[in-house]
């Protein structure tokens, strides 16, 4: 089966959506199911300089990059139609121009379509009213062209149930490379916090700095490492906020870490902190659990399900002092059983292994191709 994945950003961009497409492609090739192509844009939205190569292979996956215009929120790329030749199925990732355009032109390209939601476009409160109107009109209409809409989290499933018929809506939570950081956290429980991911306001980094201050007000041993890539927050901006809070000496910034560097950071950390405003799935929280880190998370639906599932960690109230008391008071109780708790966290993550998740996608592909479309 020849699969083409269409996604606005792919490697070398780093993020949850990019990783999902990469892992789906690798698993497809590993099983010998046919060629895989990724069609994406030729510029990174953040941190890139100039155009990326128009054509290359990454881990055996053919990557085609196309020019675009417009904003990163809705990049326009009509030339995608010319890249669909030979596809048995086109898998669109995200709810954006590609989702709408390939739906509107299905009468022309006639390829079976599957789409994964990846949180839709509700990651930030920006233009929330207009987004709701668009979602209930344009997104609803576009969804009719798809043989299946795959909600990548239960919260996405609830949201898209308003615009997609039950017979075409599936919930398949994202897979996670649970071996990448497996068991990286070790040693006695300490007071080292780690965040890794995009440096974004939406990811709750200002709130994480406020939590660090509140924790240090209760015990001077707390520190925070923030690893990842700049997005709408820069290293200078984060350090300025830390100085205003008086915690700059206890904040370490690690931009663009490799997998090896991130594993080393996990080895010397005990907690993972993410106070995101919104998560469709919460991939980094699962990655952190696979390493054996104790999660400190915001009380949003995706994270509530993680904490309920693993039975470990903290859902933080919005008040930093209250959140700090919750974590500090629980610290001593965890210290005596940290190895058992880490084993519990790692065991929980096995359900998200990519081989298991890919089998669900494979079934959806076969179903959609078998019936020829929506």
CATH number at residue 102: 3.40.50.2000
Query: What is the pairing mode between strands 314-316 and 294-298?
Result: parallel
Is the per-residue pLDDT at 33 higher than 90? yes
For residues 106 and 208, state if they share a domain: no
Q: Which residue has the tokens 């999902």?
A: 20
The DSSP bridge partners found for residue 113 are 90
For residues 359 and 295, state if they share a domain: no
Query: Cα dist. 34→20, 29, 60, 243 in Å?
Result: 18, 7, 11, 53
Query: 171 in a domain, yes or no?
Result: yes
pTM score, whole prediction: 0.83
For residues 338 and 366, state if they share a domain: no
Burial of 133 (0-12, 13-18, 19+ CB in 10 A): exposed
Helix (H, G, I), strand (E, B) or coil at 161: coil
For 107, the enclosing helix (H) or strand (E) is helix 106-109
Query: 181 in a domain, yes or no?
Result: no
Task: Measure the CA–CA gap between 52 and 158, rounded to whole angstroms.
Answer: 37
Query: 319 in a domain, yes or no?
Result: yes
The parent domain of residue 363 ranges over 3-175+353-371
pLDDT-above-70 percentage for the chain: 96
For residues 344 and 359, state if they share a domain: no
* Mean pLDDT calculated for residue range 198-204: 93
Peptide bond into 12 cis (omega under 30): yes
Is the per-residue pLDDT at 366 higher than 90? yes
Q: Cβ distance 294 to 312 under 8 Å?
A: yes
Burial of 80 (0-12, 13-18, 19+ CB in 10 A): buried
For residues 348 and 217, state if they share a domain: yes
Helix (H, G, I), strand (E, B) or coil at 152: coil
Per-residue model confidence (pLDDT) at position 299: 97
Q: Cβ distance 324 to 301 under 8 Å?
A: no
For residues 216 and 71, state if they share a domain: no
For residues 345 and 359, state if they share a domain: no
Q: Cβ distance 147 to 159 under 8 Å?
A: no
Span 49-69, pLDDT tens digits: 789 999 999 999 999 999 999
Query: 185 in a domain, yes or no?
Result: no
Query: 226 in a domain, yes or no?
Result: yes
Query: 244 in a domain, yes or no?
Result: yes
The DSSP bridge partners found for residue 62 are 37, 57
Task: Measure the CA–CA gap between 374 and 368, rounded to whole angstroms.
Answer: 7
Query: 184 in a domain, yes or no?
Result: no
* Mean pLDDT calculated for residue range 203-209: 98
Range with the poorest average pLDDT among 14-18, 226-230, 324-328 = 14-18
- Name the band, by pLDDT with cuts 50, 70 and 90, for residue 119: confident
**Number of separate domains in the chain:** 2
Per-residue model confidence (pLDDT) at position 124: 53
**Considering the chain, what is the average pLDDT of its residues?**
94
For residues 114 and 229, state if they share a domain: no
Task: Measure the CA–CA gap between 79 and 372, rounded to whole angstroms.
Answer: 24
Q: Cβ distance 281 to 249 under 8 Å?
A: no
Span 279-331, pLDDT tens digits: 878 889 999 999 999 999 999 998 999 999 999 999 999 999 999 999 999 99
Per-residue model confidence (pLDDT) at position 125: 53
Residues ≥6 apart with Cβ < 8 Å to 288: 181, 194, 196, 266, 272, 274, 295
* Mean pLDDT calculated for residue range 141-155: 95
The DSSP bridge partners found for residue 195 are 226
* Mean pLDDT calculated for residue range 218-225: 98
Per-residue model confidence (pLDDT) at position 231: 86
How far is residue 283 CA from its own chain's centroid?
5
For residues 116 and 145, state if they share a domain: yes
Query: 183 in a domain, yes or no?
Result: no
For residues 337 and 272, state if they share a domain: yes
For residues 359 and 335, state if they share a domain: no
Span 94-108, pLDDT tens digits: 999 999 999 999 999
For residues 244 and 342, state if they share a domain: yes
Helix (H, G, I), strand (E, B) or coil at 239: helix
């Amino acid at each position: 089966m020849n699969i083409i994945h269409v996604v606005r950003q792919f490697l070398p961009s780093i993020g949850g959506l990019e990783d999902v497409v990469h892992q789906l492609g690798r698993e497809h090739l590993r099983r010998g199911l046919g060629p895989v192509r990724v069609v994406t844009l030729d510029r990174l939205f953040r941190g890139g300089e100039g155009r990326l190569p128009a054509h290359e292979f990454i881990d055996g996956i053919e990557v085609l990059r196309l020019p675009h215009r417009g904003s990163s929120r809705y990049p326009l790329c009509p030339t995608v139609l010319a890249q669909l030749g030979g596809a048995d199925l086109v898998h669109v990732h995200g709810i954006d121009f590609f989702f709408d355009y390939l739906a509107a032109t299905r009468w022309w390209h006639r390829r079976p379509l599957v789409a994964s939601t990846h949180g839709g476009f509700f990651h930030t409160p920006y233009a929330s009213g207009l987004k709701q109107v668009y979602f209930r009109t344009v997104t609803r209409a576009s969804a009719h062209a798809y043989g299946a809409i795959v909600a990548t989290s239960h919260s996405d499933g609830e949201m898209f149930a308003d615009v997609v018929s039950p017979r075409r809506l599936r919930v398949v939570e994202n897979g996670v490379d649970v071996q990448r950081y497996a068991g990286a956290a070790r040693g006695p429980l300490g007071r080292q916090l780690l965040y890794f991911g995009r440096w974004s306001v939406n990811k709750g980094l200002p709130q994480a700095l406020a939590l660090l201050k509140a924790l240090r007000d209760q015990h001077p041993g707390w520190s925070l490492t923030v690893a990842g890539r700049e997005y709408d927050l820069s290293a200078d901006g984060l350090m300025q906020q830390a100085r205003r809070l008086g915690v700059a000496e206890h904040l370490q910034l690690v931009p663009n870490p490799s997998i090896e560097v991130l594993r080393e950071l996990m080895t010397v950390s005990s907690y993972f902190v993410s106070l995101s405003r919104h998560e469709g799935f919460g991939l980094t929280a699962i990655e952190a659990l696979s390493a054996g880190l104790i999660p400190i998370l915001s009380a949003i639906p995706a994270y509530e399900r993680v904490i309920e599932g693993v039975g470990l960690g903290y859902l933080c109230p919005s008040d930093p002092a209250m959140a700090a008391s919750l974590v500090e008071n629980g610290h001593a109780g965890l210290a005596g059983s940290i190895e058992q708790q880490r084993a519990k966290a790692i065991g929980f993550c096995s359900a998200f292994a990519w081989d298991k998740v890919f089998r669900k996608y494979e079934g959806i592909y076969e179903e959609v191709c078998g019936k020829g479309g929506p």
